[in-house]
A = this chain, B = another copy of it.
Amino acid sequence: MAILIDKNTKLVVQGITGKQGRFHAQQMIEYGTNVVGGVRAGKGGEWVLGKPVFDTVKAAREATGANCSIIYVPAEGAADAILEAVDAEVELIVCITERIPIQDMMKVRAILDHSKSRLLGANCPGLLTPGQSKVGIMPGYIATPGPVGVVSKSGTLTYEAVYALTQRGIGQTTCVGIGGDPINGTSFLDVLQMFEEDPNTEKVVLIGEIGGTDEQKAADFIDKHMTKPVVAFIAGQRAPEGKTMGHAGALVEGNVGTAAEKIEKLKSVGVKVAAYPEQIPDLIMQ
């Protein structure tokens, strides 16, 4: 058991003919992900890595029954790629692309709200259900099957945390990177709810960062609806106000979105907050 993806996930790769898309498609296939095809307008009918390429997501879905898509297309075409997947009624859309203009993402969100699709990202590392399926760019070897669900805004910081868990013999149900953009498709809250409902997940790790109020909303949700223990880490305690720390969303505006505020809120609802990433396994084992 896992959330969002498992061995039955049929994945189509949007932008499979690009450098990134091809490289990571190869990685995913090697991991064991069921990649059923790729999409690139104008390359329909070709084959890449032994998989058929289609002109549109709709055609790919019709031919392969894909229920998940991953997007590796440049920022200027990414919103269009997401909308194409929404239009084709793909259930889970994972967008790796970073630097999508925020006004594009506001429109995408408004459309998603009335659609049959879920978007993960943009600007996220994707997700991984150890031993079953990996959709995105997470290194596969860092994870191992087990009872901990991981959800994070950050890429390498997630790897750090997951690897630390794995090194200590603690496996994961699913590792989910929701991405660091200010407006994205799936929030902490959505994923926490899935972990709460997943019978195989026993504990949850949440990795947040400065900016916005998602972590505070997550804390409210944990307080009201979660029975499973949560361990958190919040990056950016020393970040200055008004400066964007790499992720477009990692920005303290006024006194909104500080790490201190988030940590305090999480602690107030009983979440154990790690002082540094390597402490996460210790807190999980307590």
A114 to B112, CA, bound (A): 12
List CB contacts (< 8 Å) of A112-131 with chain B. Answer: 113-114
Residues of chain A touching chain B, judged by Cβ–Cβ distance below 8 Å, are 113-114
A114 to B114, CA, bound (A): 7
Quick one: closest B residue to A110, CB to CB? B114
Chain B residues closer than 8 Å to A113, beta-carbon distance: 114
Chain B residues closer than 8 Å to A114, beta-carbon distance: 113-114
Q: How many copies does the complex hold?
A: 2
A113 to B113, CA, bound (A): 13
Min CB distance A16 to B, Å, is 32
A48 to B114, CA, bound (A): 40
Min CB distance A107 to B, Å, is 14
Quick one: closest B residue to A114, CB to CB? B114
A114 to B115, CA, bound (A): 10
A114 to B111, CA, bound (A): 11
Q: Which 2 A-B pairs have the closest CB atoms?
A: A114-B114, A113-B114
Quick one: closest B residue to A113, CB to CB? B114
A54 to B113, CA, bound (A): 32
A114 to B113, CA, bound (A): 10
A113 to B111, CA, bound (A): 13
Min CB distance A86 to B, Å, is 14
A114 to B110, CA, bound (A): 11
A157 to B13, CA, bound (A): 58
What are 2 of the A-B contact pairs (CB < 8 Å)? Answer: A113-B114, A114-B114
A91 to B113, CA, bound (A): 21
A211 to B114, CA, bound (A): 31
A113 to B114, CA, bound (A): 10
Min CB distance A83 to B, Å, is 15
Min CB distance A112 to B, Å, is 12
Min CB distance A264 to B, Å, is 36
Min CB distance A203 to B, Å, is 38
A113 to B115, CA, bound (A): 12
A239 to B32, CA, bound (A): 65
A205 to B40, CA, bound (A): 54
